[in-house]
Amino acid sequence: MTSTSAARSLHGRFNRLMMLLLKIFIIGSLLLSLAAEMFSNGADKPPPFISWFSWLEFATAIFVIGVYVLYRPGRKRWIAAASIVSLAVTGLDLLYDQGVRGVGTAELLALGLLMLFSVRHWDALPGRWVAFANGAAVMLIGFRVFADNLETAFVGGTVLIFLAMMTMIGFGAYLRSLDKLRRETQEEVRQAERLELAREMHDFVAHHVTGMVVLAQAAQVTDTDPKKAFADIEEAGLAALTSMRRMVKMLRNDDGGAGTNPLGDLAQIEDLVERFNREGTDTTCFISPELAGSAVAPEIAATAHRVVREALTNVRKHARGATRVRVVVAAASGNGLEVSVRDDGRAARGRLADSGGGMGLLGLGERIEAVGGQLRAQARPEGGWETAAWLPRVTTVPG
């Protein structure tokens, strides 16, 4: 592994380690705060642990912290449960004078963290009311925390709690806006891709139907065996139906999207590489003669062209100092073809390897899967980046 690949891998591990350490620090702080509150003496009152009700509050705090630790998007019902349990215990605390200081600081902090998720996933089930229940639990828990100082600390403490809660609400709203922007961008890309696919469907079907017409015309003016002529027309018709089914599948795919670009084929890949080469990067292209002499289905050829175009675009955007790019389109096992684009560049900050892939690469993967292929995009052990795709090589009947 080169120093570039090793540095990129180390950077990713470091980020994951820092996030893990941050979460451990938060959880540890909550548990230490809960223990200190449970076993510390008040000014004129014994520690809370002598009261059975304090242990109920302790269990509630552990439950709320556990919800924070285990929360994942889509599990907002657990936030609702934590908020309702907290409200119920606060209500019981107001009714039951246990004679010791209430326990609730750690629970308050955990509920504040859950408020961020309540707002960020505002529309998730079971509904928006969860955020309001969460906010009520945060604000009312002050009756437990400041029960011993209602006249002096209650007002100031409540104001501080309110300000902290508004900060978490603001941060959650900001993250929600980023999520919404990403969804809207994906939707726009998906709709644009559908329009492009609709235009491609016309070209593909026209290609196959034209071949069927040519076969029928040839059968009329030659001594071709009728059974052979009908078999050829049938094969061309089946190819047309297969092409149309693939395109319809891509049009119906709600998660698709790869941007709009002109329709291309294998012959145009060399032109694409030549234009890229003129921009200053040593780029070579090899297309297997076996493929050049065979009839590759139009939608497969267009997808191969899209793979090369997207890969070269990513080289230009993300591969710093790339001096060599190799494009290979070769026959592969399983009656397929493999398209690969490899570079020797150094990863720019925020490259696809670190971000998990851009919109174009994500949509490209969807498109390749729709035609029965597989995409592989990863760092090369010897340095640089590789984008490769295996595609089924579906042959059509020559006209």
Question: How does pLDDT run across 311-370, given as a tens digit for each residue?
Answer: 888 887 777 777 889 999 988 877 889 999 999 887 654 444 443 445 567 777 777 887
In this predicted structure, what is the pLDDT of residue 28?
94
Q: Retrieve residue 28's tokens.
A: 């540890």
Q: Which residues, 6 or more positions from 398, have their beta carbon under 8 angstroms from its beta carbon?
A: 211, 295
In this predicted structure, what is the pLDDT of residue 86?
95
In this predicted structure, what is the pLDDT of residue 87?
95
In this predicted structure, what is the pLDDT of residue 352?
46
Q: Which residues, 6 or more positions from 167, have their beta carbon under 8 angstroms from its beta carbon?
A: none
In this predicted structure, what is the pLDDT of residue 262?
42
In this predicted structure, what is the pLDDT of residue 189?
67
Range in 101-110, 151-160, 179-188, 388-397 with the lowest mean pLDDT: 388-397
Q: Which residues, 6 or more positions from 143, have their beta carbon under 8 angstroms from its beta carbon?
A: 90, 93, 94, 102
Q: Name the band, by pLDDT with cuts 50, 70 and 90, for residue 255.
A: very low
Full-model pTM: 0.55
Please report, rounded to a whole number, the percentage of residues in the chain having pLDDT higher than 90: 28
In this predicted structure, what is the pLDDT of residue 350?
46
Residue with the bigger pLDDT between 355 and 215: it is 215
Strand, coil or helix: 325: strand
Delineate the domains of the chain, giving CATH numbers in brackets.
16-152 (no CATH), 187-392 (3.30.565.10)
Has residue 257 got a pLDDT over 50?
A: no
The highest-confidence range among 48-52, 116-120, 230-234, by mean pLDDT, is 116-120
Tracing tokens 């032109």 back to the chain, one arrives at 271
Q: Retrieve residue 14's tokens.
A: 């470091």
Instruction: Point out which residues pair with 199 in neighbouring strands.
Output: none
Please tell me the distance from the alpha carbon of residue 292 to that of residue 328, in angstroms, as a whole number: 13
What's the whole-number mean pLDDT along residues 209-227? 71
Nearest CA among 256, 382, 364 for reference residue 312: 364
Please tell me the distance from the alpha carbon of residue 216 to that of residue 220, in angstroms, as a whole number: 7
Residue with the bigger pLDDT between 160 and 365: it is 160
Please state, rounded to an integer, the average pLDDT across all residues of the chain.
79
Nearest CA among 272, 292, 290, 291 for reference residue 281: 272
Has residue 307 got a pLDDT over 50?
A: yes
Burial degree of 211 (CB within 10 A; 0-12, 13-18, 19+): buried
Q: Retrieve residue 233's tokens.
A: 């027309």
Please report, rounded to a whole number, the percentage of residues in the chain having pLDDT higher than 70: 74
pLDDT in tens, 163-190: 999 999 999 999 999 988 888 877 776 6
Has residue 138 got a pLDDT over 90?
A: yes
What's the whole-number mean pLDDT along residues 19-40? 92
Has residue 69 got a pLDDT over 90?
A: yes
